[in-house]
Structure formats: structure tokens, C-alpha cells
Structure 1
Amino acid sequence: MGRDGSSGSGAGDSLVRKVLLSYFYVGIWIFLSFSVIIYNKYILDPKMYNWPFPISLTMIHMGFCSSIAVLLVRGLRLVELPSSPPMTHELYISSVVPIGALYAFSLWFSNSAYIYLSVSFIQMLKALMPVAVYSISILLSKESFRRATMANMLSISFGVAIAAYGEARFDAWGVLLQLGAVAFEATRLVLIQILLSSKGIALNPITTLYYVAPCCLVFLTLPWAIVELPVLRGTSSFHFDFLVFGTNSLCAFALNLAVFLLVDRTSALTMNVAGVVKDWLLIAFSWSVIRDTVTTINLVGYGIAFLGVGYYNHIKLQALKAKETQKKTAPDDEEARNLIEEKEGKSESQV
């Protein structure tokens, strides 16, 4: 009886430890994601640090992440590149380059939006991500059309539209930039499934940055040379602040690691749910600390979108549970099938 009690206690302690670790990973991700968003807003906003060069900021991030990834992979050899399947030149061009290009434009447009829009309104617009992912998945034949799902997507869109209607600092160009960022990011997420996951290519955050970050840097070079370089040349008063941009880049790099840690130790769905919590925290911070105007119509609209996203996550969770149950019962079904075939074979031989 003592043994049973101790084993039950051990299982309970293990469960509590897992739950606490999950909350710890969620907390780290929320903190780093929160920090990067607020830090980027601080640097880019004309009313704060006033350095409105989003392409340059994105290139600084990618250059920093590329350098750290190359050091860990090639220099210190602490991280191994995937060998099955090997990353050939053809595979890199066909799979990594399109993802890198989409990631570059997604970061560029997303950072640009901070110049024109409030943090709270940007988070409300980001609620459209499930809508964009589902729509693009249908276009690329990755998902099948379902009326119930599309109705849910329309409810999210309706909520975001109400939030936009009530936005005090509405800027059409900023909204277009953020919607473009959502579209590029959604396409990137779908293509990761099509071009990488389907081919059995599994990348951790370091190897992802090793392959993708230099690609992003290359794709950003041309727009940077055309749009921002001439202005930077004419800004003689600017001096590169290593403390500000160094810590900002370090936060961006740490966020990439935190994303992998959270998804690897919990699930992608946990990150989606945690993302909703982070959005509400950012809206509260934007209203109380940065003093952005958050109207009642804003909150009503985002509340509707929030319910739609919550329902979407619930459906995804049910689908994942069903898939896990199917995996657990599959071996038993296979064993039963083998027994039936064996019996049928014996009866045929007796006849």
C-alpha cells in the first residue's frame, strides 16, 4: 500500500512539474515577444527614439542572428545541420529561398507598421492571421473548404473591421503595411508545411536562422539601397548606438529560441493560446503606459475577433486530440487485423 501511495505521489509530482515547466516556457515566450514588440516600437516611432528605418532595423536583426548561427554551427560546432535529407543547393533554392523571401517582407512590413499605428491596433490586426492562413491553405490545396470554418473566419474578420472602425489613430498606409505583413507571414507558414515539413526537413531555431537569416538579408538589400540608404547618408547626426541596437537584436535572437522551446516542450497550439494572452497584455500596456487611445469600439471589435480565434484554437485542439487518439489505437487495430488475417489463413489451409 505504501508503494502504491509513493508511486501515485511521484506521478502527481511529475505532472505538477510538467505543468509548471509549461507555464515557465509560456512566460519566457510572452516576456520576450512582448519585449521585442515594445522595443521595436520604441526605436521606430517618431515620438520616441525616432529612428524610422524599418528595413535597416530588420537587416540589423538578420545580420546579428546570421552571425550567431554561423558561429554556433561552423565556428564552435555546437549545433549540427540536418543530414537526412541533406540540404543540397537545389533543395535550398527551391525550399528555403522562397521562405526566406517571405520572411524578409513580413518583417519589413510588420516593422514599418509601428511608425504609423499604435501597438494595440497592430495586435488587433494580427488577429487576422488564422483567416489568412486558412485562405492561403485553401488556395494552395493544403486545406479543404468548410462552411463552418469559413463562417468562423468571417466572424474574426468582422470583429477586426469593427476594431478598425473604432481606431482613433487610423492610418490607411499603416493598415495596408500590417495586412501585407500578415499575408506574407501566413504564406510563409503554409509554405513551411509544403516545402520543408512534407520533405522530412526538421530545423531547430539555430539551423533555421543559419539557412533563412542570410537569405532574408540578401532580399532586403535592394529595397534598403533604394529606400533607406540615401536618407541615411543624408542623416549626418546619426551615430550607431551599440547598446540599443545590440540589446534589441539580442532580444530578437532570444525570441527565436523561445519559440522553438515553447513549441518543442508544449505545442504550437499552446503558443497560439499564449499569443492571445500576450495580445491583451500589449493592449493594456499600450493604453496604460504608452498612452495610446483604446476606444470602447476597439475593445468590442477585438473581443468578437478574440472569441473567433478562441473557437478556432478549440477546434484545432479537438482535431489534435482526435489524431492522438487515432495514433494510440492504431497499433491495436493493426494487431487485431493481423490476428484476423492469421485465422483466415489457417482456415483456408484446413479447407
Structure 2
Amino acid sequence: MGKGGALSEGVLKKILLSYTYVAIWIFLSFMVIVYNKYILDPKMYNWPYPISLTMIHMAFCSSLAYILVRILKVVDPVTMSWDLYVKSVIPIGLLYSLSLWLSNSAYIYLSVSFIQMLKALMPVAVYTIGVMFKKESFKSETMANMISISIGVAIAAYGEAKFDSMGVVLQLGAVAFEATRLVMIQILLTSRGISLNPITSLYYVAPCCLVFLFLPWVYVEYPILTEKSSFHLDFVIFGTNSFCAFALNLAVFLLVGKTSALTMNVAGVVKDWLLIAFSWSVIKDTVTPINLLGYALAFLGVGYYNHSKLQALKAKETQKKSQQSDEEAGMLLAEKNEESSGSKKNESHD
């Protein structure tokens, strides 16, 4: 056994940990989606104020992130100039606030299952916006894959029993803003060598979201809330809901940091199927055969896209290892040449 046994045990431990991170992320993501649906849906808890809910999340996350960064000093804040904050963090905060506002609003109009089907368009949006901003290279094969995903989602929408155009517009808007945010993170932060973990990300971005959401809240939801004399905030419901949202951010960091973003994408597909099954069996949302056929087609497209990304990553790693071995071989050859030339000099002196 010896080293082989230790190695196999180490590999097994790593696999089990990876599955644990995936399970934690799926569970928390599942909880946040179902919890938000429960709060916002007029047929359930009946608190249809998506801007207010998003602001509660951002206020909670901002406060907790401040405590962890400034008071408990669990993580160090990133060194960031005011100029960088204005030009990079604030635009990302604006996009994030719009994405959260619209995605939470969609729960009022659409079923959980149909929202997950529409979210399958995320790779399409990220790739298209990436090409527009020249962060992705245009490839006809990849674009054909994106079109197949779009067709699948269109078929799923055609088969939706409770189709609501307002809800679809809101969810597609949320996908577009979220995709733009992800590309902007690459352009504005990653390209400058700045990486934010979830705590520092919330520390810088959540207060921006809170400020950006305040203006529409004052005009859209505040007048309605003040008219309701019976309005009161249930601290147990909104506190646990906000804590789940914060924990989900930490779970994303844990999953991506310990595995990869690709693993999260693949796990996301599993989570979507689980949510569709839950929506159909527990919430009693109507899921039609055409819904499933369309989403299955989109699912195959997303699966192929993830497979292509994995192959590209493997090829990149192989090329990197090959370059490293070539460099090492070159250094060894140079050392041997130096040694041989040194020995020849010594012989000539003798």
C-alpha cells in the first residue's frame, strides 16, 4: 500500500470535499430561490415588494461584511483608490442592483420552474456580451451552440402554461444585466489584477446597490408601504432570508475557490433540474411536456458548452505544462553547456 494507499485516500478525500461544496451551494441556492418566491408570490406570503426585499438583503450583507472586515478583521480590505472605486466598483454595483431587482420581481409573475428555464440563457448572454466587448473571440461553432440553447428556451416558453410577458421581460432583463456585470468584472477588476472574495465584494458592492435601489424604492414602493397601516416587518422571516442570501455568497466563494467556476456551472444545471422537480411536485406549478422538451434541448446545449470549456481548459493546462518542461529542459541544457565549457577551460589551463 504505502504511498499508493495514501494517494488514493487523499484523492478520495478531495472528491468528497468537492461534492460537499457542491451540495452546500445547491442547498443554499435552492433555499434562497424558494424563500424569495415564498415571500414575493401573492399566493403565498404575499409581500410583493422586490425592491424592498433586495434592499433588506443589501443592508444585511453590507452590515455583516463591515463587521467581518473592519471589526472582526476576518479578511483584509482590498487596497483601492477612490478613482478605481468610482470607475470600477460603482458600475458593477449598478448592474448588480438592477439584476437583483428584476430577478426578484420576476417571482411575482412566473413559476420557479419557468424562471430556471429562462436562466439557461445566461451562457448565451455572457458569450454575446463578451464578444461585443472583445473579451471573447467569435467562433461560429460556439454561436451555433448558443442558438441551440436559445431555441430550446423558446420552445420551453412556448409550452409554458402560465406565460406572462411582463415576467419574461423582467427575467430576461435580469439575465442581461447579470451577464453584463460578469463581463464588467473581467474588464474593470480582473484585468487590473484585483480579485474580490464574497466578503470584500459585499463590503464594496452591497452599499452601492443599496444607494442605487433607494431612488426607485422612494417612487415605486415607499408610497404603497406607507399607505398600508397594517404593515410590519417580520424579523424572523426577513432575517433568515437575508442570512441565507449572505451564506449563498460565501458558498459561491467556497465552491469556486476549492473547485472551479466550471464546476459551479455544471452543478447549476443539476440545481435547475431539482428546482423544476420541486416546483412541479411541491409548489404544484404546471410543467408541460413541451416545457421539458425545450429545456432538455437547452440543457444539452449548456452541457456541450461546459464540455467545450473544460476541453479548452485542459488544452491550456497541457500547453502550459509543455512550456514549463521545455523551459526546464533548456535550463538543464544551458547548465550542462556551462559545466562542459568550464571543464574544457580547466583542461586547457592544465
Tell whether 2:190 aligns with 1:197.
Answer: yes
The one-letter code of the counterpart of 2:136 is: E
Residue 61 (structure 1) aligned to one of 51, 57, 61: 57
Tell whether 2:41 aligns with 1:48.
Answer: no
Distance 2:332 2:244 in 1: 57
Give me the TM-score of the superposition, normalised by structure 1: 0.94
The one-letter code of the counterpart of 2:9 is: D
Match of 1:12 in 2: 8
Q: CA deviation at 1:235?
A: 1.1
Tell whether 2:69 aligns with 1:73.
Answer: yes
Distance 1:55 1:341 in 2: 65
Alignment RMSD, CA only?
1.6
Distance 2:131 2:123 in 1: 12
Q: CA deviation at 1:226?
A: 0.8
Match of 1:168 in 2: 161
Distance 1:136 1:221 in 2: 28
Give me the TM-score of the superposition, normalised by structure 2: 0.95
- How many pairs were matched up? 341
Q: CA deviation at 1:327?
A: 2.0
User: SS at the partner of 1:240?
Assistant: coil
Q: 4+ residue stretches of structure 1 with deviation over 6 A?
A: 339-347
User: SS at the partner of 2:219?
Assistant: helix
Distance 1:6 1:339 in 2: 32
The 5 Å alignment of 1:287-302 reads 287-302=280-295
The one-letter code of the counterpart of 2:317 is: E
Question: Which one has the largest radius of gyration?
Answer: 2
Distance 1:157 1:235 in 2: 42
Show structure 2 runs of 5+ residues with no match: 346-350
Show structure 1 runs of 5+ residues with no match: none
Q: CA deviation at 1:334?
A: 1.9
Distance 1:37 1:127 in 2: 15
Residue 22 (structure 2) aligned to one of 16, 26, 33: 26
Tell whether 2:261 aligns with 1:268.
Answer: yes
Deviations 1:276-304 (A, max 9, x none): 00000000000000000000000000000
Deviations 1:150-193 (A, max 9, x none): 00000000000000000001000100000000000000001111
Q: 1:334 to 1:89 in 2, by over 3 A?
A: same
Q: CA deviation at 1:103?
A: 0.4
Q: CA deviation at 1:331?
A: 1.6
The one-letter code of the counterpart of 1:23 is: Y
The 5 Å alignment of 1:246-257 reads 246-257=239-250
Distance 1:255 1:158 in 2: 31
Distance 1:330 1:58 in 2: 48
Residue 207 (structure 2) aligned to one of 206, 214, 224: 214
Distance 1:41 1:239 in 2: 19
The one-letter code of the counterpart of 2:308 is: I
Bigger Cα displacement from structure 2, 330-339 vs 298-307:
330-339
Match of 2:229 in 1: 236
Distance 1:313 1:225 in 2: 42
Tell whether 2:327 aligns with 1:334.
Answer: yes
